[in-house]
Structure 1
């Protein structure tokens, strides 16, 4: 099979413009010199051969050779390489001197005392990065308690749970079953979180942080005496049910927390990312209404 790159037609096709384009791309076009004509013999033959045709200007596209690797000399006896400093976290860890023990007697506090204890709590490092504590919102006579995971940026700024897009979706979900965060009794739903302070950069809650906040949530349940708890999201489920089972395996049945029925469902922020599961969340709300008979 002939090589078309060496054919006269291919060579002729490489005009000045194409050579200039190849040069712009860094491709060197090499053209061999014409071969030297053999010297004439002293005595011409009786029938001289026809003259040899001129060697065409063949185009040989030669890729640019790669640059040799740069060799960096290593200094002798320079000692060990310096350690790389770890990347600082978004919020510095609180030292033991800056932290204090969680207020005592949480299990005996009334609503005012409990709110003040949460506002002044410095039992974990989240106290250093927060703007506001997020105690909860709703009427204390509401017979549903909605428990989320942790405050986000908007919640930390406003001091109220479930605001922003996730909060708007939660309000629509509650409205669909005849409830609201400001309703009373059978029309109300008190809303709280497992954590009362926002984790830096909205990272996941850590076990020790959930453990420090747990007595506050326990006391809220004792003071509210709700007829039902709606657990929204993985960390709310872990805190209330002490289970690492996926939400999909815990849905569809009634659980218990301090003898209060618990219905497991998806967090509104998750539903915003996965709207296909809104049907499942609606089924969870229907189960909650069946459980309370409303």
Structure 2
């Protein structure tokens, strides 16, 4: 057999194996027109299913509020926060809830976990945390001491580390605010120390920490003192003088009769 014919036959067999069992001409064929000319009666088109319309996602802030209100104690609150849907969770290593002694007279609220906090699963354990420990020790407070005269309880607005240690964004603060307010209610401190803009936004609905620091106010129904975040003090050592004044005011408030 002619080698050319053998080659053509092999190519045709290969096309058949691929499922190409119909010859296609050089001109397009309007098959709708062919069906219209067919002697067969037209068949009714199959019913078309209604398009799927996805329901609007639930309000994350309302969902957070419901979960927070349903937590009757701190372990239940931690479980609710750990299971709460958050875009930060897949990129973080550890859930960071709190450290220190629950029920301490002083509760410190920071922004969000950083690299070291994400590794250890505790708030304020990096360079900023070490500075915070020294600041608290200067007024007789120690997160490792359960004695109410020295105890302190520490947490953050966000329990998950933001990428690149960036600051929490406004939608993230809004989403986690109900949990933070419930956290304060369950921890029941006498006084709040608010460190940085993010906790000020979450608890006071205002930022500008350089303008509001050192001014006593109220947050979550408790006396609250805004001050600089330790990471800011590491970048701006001259601000430590103002932070020390805040600590002295805080210490006086804690020592005053309740």
TM-score (norm 2): 0.71
Q: Specify the alignment match of 1:145 in structure 2.
A: 107
Task: State whether residues 241 and 257 of structure 1, in contact with CA within 8 Å, keep that contact through their aligned partners in structure 2.
Answer: yes
Which of these residues, 83, 99, 106, is aligned with residue 68 of structure 2?
106
Change in Cα spacing, 1:265 to 1:103, as seen in structure 2 (3 Å) is closer
1:187 maps onto 2:157 in alignment: no
Bigger helix share: 2
Residue 278 (structure 1) aligned with residue 240 (structure 2)? yes
Partner Cα distance (2:124, 2:182) in 1: 20
The aligned residue for residue 289 of structure 1 is 251
Q: How does 1:251-262 map to 2 (within 5 A)?
A: 251-262=213-224
- 2:202 aligned to 239, 248, 264, which one? 239
Specify every segment of 5 or more residues in structure 1 that has no aligned partner in the other structure, as ranges. 1-95
**In structure 1, how many angstroms separate the alpha carbons of the residues matched to 2:213 and 2:74?**
31
CA contact (8 A) 2:115 2:161 kept: yes
The residue matched to 1:229 in structure 2 has which SS? strand
Question: Which of the residues 110, 114, 136 maps onto 2:98?
Answer: 136
* Structure 2 runs not aligned, ≥5 long: 1-56
Task: Give 4+ residue runs of structure 1 displaced > 6 Å after superposition.
Answer: none
2:102 match: secondary structure: coil
1:164 to 126, 147, 154: 126
Instruction: Name which of 163, 182, 190 aligns with 1:227.
Output: 190
Separation of aligned partners in 2, 1:275 and 1:145: 24
Contact 1:263–1:288 at 8 Å: present in 2 too?
A: yes
User: Aligned pairs, how many?
Assistant: 196
Using CA pairs below 8 Å that are at least 6 residues apart, which structure has the higher relative contact order? Answer: 2
Deviation at 1:103, TM superposition (A): 8.1
If you compute each CA radius of gyration, which structure gives the higher value, 1 or 2?
1
Alignment of 1:1-294 (within 5 A): 102=64, 104-109=66-71, 110-122=73-85, 124-184=86-146, 185-244=148-207, 246-293=208-255
Q: Which shifted more, 247-256 or 164-173?
A: 247-256
